[in-house]
Structure 1
Amino acid sequence: MGIKGASASQDLPGMEDQRDVQPFLDEYGLEYTPDGQFIRWSFSNKKHPRNWPASRKIYDTGLIIFLDLFTTSVSTAGSAAADHARDEFGLSKTLAVFLFVSLSLVGQMIGGIIFPACSEAFGRKNLYIVSTGLFSIFCLIVGVVPSIAAVAIGRFLSGFLSAIPAVVVAGSIEDMYNAKDRVWFIFLWAVVANMGLALGPIMSIYIIARLSWRWVFRISAIVTAIITLLLFGIRESRPSLVLEKQVARLRSESGITNLKALNPDHTPDLKTFIRLSLFRPIHLFFTEPIVFMVAIMSAVAFALIYLFTEALPPIYMSMGFSTTSSYLPFLAICIGILFGLLTRIQDHRIILRYQEQGIPLEPEHKLLGFSIGAPILAVGLWWFAWTIPPAVHVHWLISTAALILIGYAVNEFDSVLAGYLADSYMGYAASGFAAVQLLRSSMSAAFPLFATDMFDALGANVASSILAALATVFCIVPPLFNRHGRRIRGLSKFAKHSLQVYRENGVDKHGF
């Protein structure tokens, strides 16, 4: 599965075999590569995931995006559950947060390294089904078994399994949609996932107020069990694997056994798979400047929401909110996330303008949301830092308005940068995003652990100002990507190979 592509066959079909198989190729919508060595998709093949009917794409995409929404909300739901379960188990606040929140994210970090490469080599569908079914079981263990060990095991393994929708959905979207359509679906995915982050604490606290913290996980088990059943209705979307099945049928019907599918994902042995696939996300992180910078910025923005699960309720309780209502300011973050629709509309206009002018679409052409979101994140955090107690006492609506800006910016970081990786690395999008997920999960696991101590020791104003200063530094990156992104991608062997594979196998009329 290396970046050099498939090696030449030692037993190629002769010209007579090619003539014999041509009627079968026409029937299946396949064709030989120009060198006659392999069989690839033809432009009009309806079996290619990008040519599937709209209804099929909507079902598959909608279901896996909802899966990510729910598993993400279960992740942040652990914060409120920890606060109520620690009395039952006699735990300190930090240890409870570690067990219910951080341990899940550590599991997700490990899963984020393993699963994307598995999905690229072995497909998406089975991973979704198995992981969601097991996720349901481990949620049930947390909600039913009355022991700390059960909580630790259940949260770690459910987090490990949640890495599949968290990192593989980007690859599935890349499988099914070209660059023009991908803008919208990456945006939808980012909106839904980020709203899951913000809605999780609210969902959790209201379930706990009416039932108990255990019911947070019991309900999660029920919902994901239903999703597991629905996942049996999706199709495998990895084009290379679908093509392999098509060529296998072609060999059977034609009787020509030496026909080979063009498969850039081919792994000759387990050692090669481990060397090139399992460690590829780490390799990308340390060797690809784009992946490195995207990972850091996405991780900080994403982990900020996890930090807020611990920091926001005490701040708003100091303004007179009840324990339950102190989680409602997360709705302001959700509102901000929805404002990203305006940016996507402008992205669409930019894409159409380039197409009308006949200008090839580049990944940098879709960085508008990031260019806007970076300064807005800095402004939102500075605004929030100095409109909250103890230094400032103003109406709670003032600081809540800042959360709208933060929600918008966090979503732009997530959706635009994820789209940038998908466009830059295409077939390796899942591995590129796994590198992001690796750092994002580790930061998200760490931020809640020190959030309370940091805000107590420094005061909410100074602590928030530190976050604002970091966001201000990020403002230098959008101009860097816009001016030098193409040159940086040109130096990347992964990005160049992804583009080559796309051109050899692509079925899109417009863009990539």
Structure 2
Amino acid sequence: MALTQGPKLSSEATTTGIARQEVLERYEELLIEQKSSPDHVFISGSSFRELDPNLVVLDEKAREHPRDWLVPKKIRATAMVGAYCFLSPFASTIFAPSVHLVMADLNITDSTLGALAVSIFLFGFAIGPLVLAPMSELYGRRLIINCGNLVFVAFSIGAGFVQTPAQLFTSRIFAGLGGSAALSIVGGTVADMWDLKARPKASGLVMLGPVLGPILGPVCGGWMSEAASWRWTLWVPAIASGILSVAGYFFLPETYAPRVLQHKLQKMKTLHPDKQFYTVLDLTQSPSGLRFLFSQFVRPLVYLAVDPALALASIFYAVLFGVVYLVIVTLADVFGHGYGHSVGFVGTDFLSAGVGMIIGTFGTIRVMEMIFKKDTTTGQMKYKPESRLLSCIVGGILSVGGLFMYGFSAMRTHYIVPLIGIAIFACGTMNIMLAIQIYAVDGFKYPASAFAAISVLRCLFAGFFPLFGPKLFVRLGVDWGVGLLAFLVLGLGTPMITLLYIFGPRLRKIGVQHMSRFEGDSG
């Protein structure tokens, strides 16, 4: 019996080896073909499934690949991620209108420490993506966002019970770390599900939250602090996030295709332990070990250091985001002390920025759809990621003009005039930031890490800018203080966007070369 079984097993092994080699060759061919495409989709091997019955793939007919999901399912997943992305930035500024109440309750006398109560949350936002974004490219988006949100909920609730400044700062930074999970995976999640044509709409839906959240936070926080206590400004977002966590656990699917494929492989092996199932992920050598994990965690920082295109985009985005937070800090003084509005009414004044951002979002989506349609009218794909940046021209004009209108009309005219200026500034700002966000998703090999690289700088700038804001406006006044910010946006944005649009493809090639060396060295 043993004499006949040996040759049979050997023959099966040889056949299996030949089949795997054929699968590998076909897989490598498709990878080479994909390099010339502007839209990188994970290849699960469904087109050559017939080469080997042991090959596990994402079935196109069953719509297992996230790109093949029905549109309602994609919208549901995108909206849930957008809700996560809204709540944590919403919590970052919710008690901004009532900082003086926090200072009085916790015996804080230094105005810089008072501003730090808001800013320190953003430092957690800056640190978190460095670890969480690469982890999402190893373990999937769903695990990262659900675990991070639980940390955010726990420390947000704890922050509402603090009795000392040290307890507040500690709770806030850990809440920021947990809350950064959504921002860490949002870019990758959009790229997981949506193609280039649909991406502007999807990005507009999901990325409105990170920018609109900090604006609407004070709207609710002002009235909440007046009616109850500033502590409820921490508890209410935590309660909402807790409810969202429960919903996300049951209804938010995994969008990262490699992770979806790994789950399917595990399920198949459990059902048929005697089969030698494998996926295309098993055909290439995957580096491992502590050195590899470290390389994954520092990838966002490496992106910033070695990719000039991403560095330019990140610096401009960060400065603009810092200016947004710095302008937010001025609203309490301008409309509270200058125009005599109550804490609750000051919170309502923030709605002008929210209206501007909504208009900017839909306007940007429309412009990007027109540009993409023009690039593909001939039937040939002439699209390049830098096309997303064309709308920044209009956005820059609106941002600078809105800042000048706000700064030089504040406390000199009826309060509706500076509010209109804020709305115009917010409209232009949203236009620029949405364009850069989509550029980061479209233009780089690891969209989650590229998006995290942008998030690191933007959160650091947004955290530091409000710390020196009060002194800036005391020295220069609101008019020339805001005017200086307008000149800063104009002076940085004009050359950076021009450089990116003209030389972006060449700069990204340099970044690809540098990243290839980094990945090779760390493998």
Q: Which interval holds the TM-score relative to the shorter structure?
A: 0.7 to 0.9
Name the residue aligned to 1:168. Answer: 185
1:113-134: per-residue Cα shift (whole Å, max 9, x none)?
A: 1110011111111111111122
Q: Separation in 1 of the partners of 2:200 and 2:227?
A: 40
Which has the larger displacement, 309-318 or 255-264?
A: 255-264
What is the correspondence of 1:11-410 to structure 2 with a 5 Å cutoff?
Answer: 13-15=16-18, 30-32=46-48, 46-232=63-249, 233-250=251-268, 253=272, 255-257=274-276, 259-262=278-281, 268-316=287-335, 317-340=337-360, 341-360=362-381, 361-389=383-411, 393-410=412-429
Structure 2 CA distance for partners of 1:42 and 1:217, relative to 1, 3 Å: same
Q: Separation in 2 of the partners of 1:264 and 1:125?
A: 25
Structure 2 CA distance for partners of 1:244 and 1:388, relative to 1, 3 Å: same
The 8 Å contact of residues 425 and 495 in structure 1, kept in 2 or not, is answered as no
1:388-439: per-residue Cα shift (whole Å, max 9, x none)?
A: 24xxx2222222221112111221122110100100014x111111111111
Name the residue aligned to 2:439. Answer: 420
The alignment partner of 1:438 has SS state of helix
**Structure 2 regions of 5+ residues with no counterpart?**
1-13, 24-43, 517-523
The 8 Å contact of residues 223 and 347 in structure 2, kept in 1 or not, is answered as no
Structure 2 CA distance for partners of 1:247 and 1:143, relative to 1, 3 Å: same
The alignment partner of 1:180 has SS state of coil
Structure 2 CA distance for partners of 1:44 and 1:284, relative to 1, 3 Å: farther
Number of aligned residue pairs: give it: 477
The 8 Å contact of residues 332 and 346 in structure 2, kept in 1 or not, is answered as yes
The 8 Å contact of residues 198 and 305 in structure 1, kept in 2 or not, is answered as no
The alignment partner of 1:291 has SS state of helix
Structure 2 CA distance for partners of 1:265 and 1:128, relative to 1, 3 Å: farther
Structure 2 CA distance for partners of 1:45 and 1:254, relative to 1, 3 Å: farther
The one-letter amino acid of 1:434's match is: A
Q: Separation in 2 of the partners of 1:222 and 1:142?
A: 13
Deviation at residue 283 of structure 1 after TM alignment: 0.6
Structure 2 CA distance for partners of 1:371 and 1:35, relative to 1, 3 Å: farther
Name the residue aligned to 2:7. Answer: none
Name the residue aligned to 1:23. Answer: none
Deviation at residue 35 of structure 1 after TM alignment: 11
The one-letter amino acid of 2:85's match is: D
The alignment partner of 2:97 has SS state of helix
The 8 Å contact of residues 109 and 442 in structure 1, kept in 2 or not, is answered as yes
Structure 2 CA distance for partners of 1:265 and 1:398, relative to 1, 3 Å: farther
Q: Separation in 2 of the partners of 1:322 and 1:495?
A: 54
Structure 2 CA distance for partners of 1:265 and 1:84, relative to 1, 3 Å: farther
1:151-186: per-residue Cα shift (whole Å, max 9, x none)?
A: 122101000111111221111111111111111111
Deviation at residue 350 of structure 1 after TM alignment: 2.5
Structure 2 CA distance for partners of 1:236 and 1:273, relative to 1, 3 Å: farther
TM-score, structure 2 as length reference: 0.84
The 8 Å contact of residues 106 and 163 in structure 2, kept in 1 or not, is answered as no
The 8 Å contact of residues 136 and 144 in structure 2, kept in 1 or not, is answered as yes
The 8 Å contact of residues 382 and 464 in structure 1, kept in 2 or not, is answered as yes
The alignment partner of 2:341 has SS state of coil
1:312-333: per-residue Cα shift (whole Å, max 9, x none)?
A: 1211231333333233332111
Name the residue aligned to 1:510. Answer: none
The one-letter amino acid of 1:466's match is: L
Name the residue aligned to 1:460. Answer: 478
The 8 Å contact of residues 288 and 492 in structure 1, kept in 2 or not, is answered as yes
TM-score, structure 1 as length reference: 0.86
Name the residue aligned to 2:430. Answer: 411
**Fraction of identical pairs, as percent:** 22
The one-letter amino acid of 1:448's match is: P
1:62-109: per-residue Cα shift (whole Å, max 9, x none)?
A: 111011111111001142343211111110243543552122111111
The 8 Å contact of residues 191 and 199 in structure 2, kept in 1 or not, is answered as yes
The one-letter amino acid of 1:217's match is: L
The alignment partner of 2:160 has SS state of helix
Structure 2 CA distance for partners of 1:15 and 1:141, relative to 1, 3 Å: same
Structure 2 CA distance for partners of 1:220 and 1:58, relative to 1, 3 Å: same
Q: Separation in 1 of the partners of 2:18 and 2:92?
A: 57
The 8 Å contact of residues 144 and 218 in structure 1, kept in 2 or not, is answered as no
How well do the aligned residues superpose, as a CA RMSD in angstroms?
3.0
Given the alignment of the two structures, is residue 487 of structure 1 paired with residue 503 of structure 2, yes or no?
no
The 8 Å contact of residues 299 and 439 in structure 1, kept in 2 or not, is answered as yes
Structure 2 CA distance for partners of 1:283 and 1:379, relative to 1, 3 Å: same
Q: Separation in 1 of the partners of 2:299 and 2:60?
A: 30
Which has the larger displacement, 240-249 or 11-20?
A: 11-20
Structure 2 CA distance for partners of 1:469 and 1:138, relative to 1, 3 Å: same
Structure 2 CA distance for partners of 1:259 and 1:378, relative to 1, 3 Å: same
Q: Separation in 2 of the partners of 1:432 and 1:124?
A: 15
The 8 Å contact of residues 97 and 218 in structure 2, kept in 1 or not, is answered as yes
Structure 2 CA distance for partners of 1:209 and 1:29, relative to 1, 3 Å: same
Residue from 421, 429, 448 that aligns with 1:430: 448
Please say which structure displays the higher CA radius of gyration: 2
Given the alignment of the two structures, is residue 477 of structure 1 paired with residue 496 of structure 2, yes or no?
yes
The one-letter amino acid of 1:478's match is: I
Q: Separation in 1 of the partners of 2:220 and 2:470?
A: 21
Name the residue aligned to 2:465. Answer: 447
**Structure 1 regions of 5+ residues with no counterpart?**
1-10, 21-27, 498-512
Q: Separation in 2 of the partners of 1:182 and 1:226?
A: 28
Structure 2 CA distance for partners of 1:35 and 1:419, relative to 1, 3 Å: farther
Q: Separation in 2 of the partners of 1:123 and 1:266?
A: 19
The 8 Å contact of residues 410 and 418 in structure 2, kept in 1 or not, is answered as yes
Q: Separation in 1 of the partners of 2:100 and 2:373?
A: 50
The one-letter amino acid of 2:191's match is: E
The one-letter amino acid of 1:453's match is: K
The 8 Å contact of residues 265 and 277 in structure 2, kept in 1 or not, is answered as no
Deviation at residue 19 of structure 1 after TM alignment: 9.9
The one-letter amino acid of 1:47's match is: E
Which has the larger displacement, 309-318 or 230-239?
A: 309-318
Q: Separation in 2 of the partners of 1:71 and 1:431?
A: 19
Structure 2 CA distance for partners of 1:488 and 1:322, relative to 1, 3 Å: same
Deviation at residue 33 of structure 1 after TM alignment: 9.4
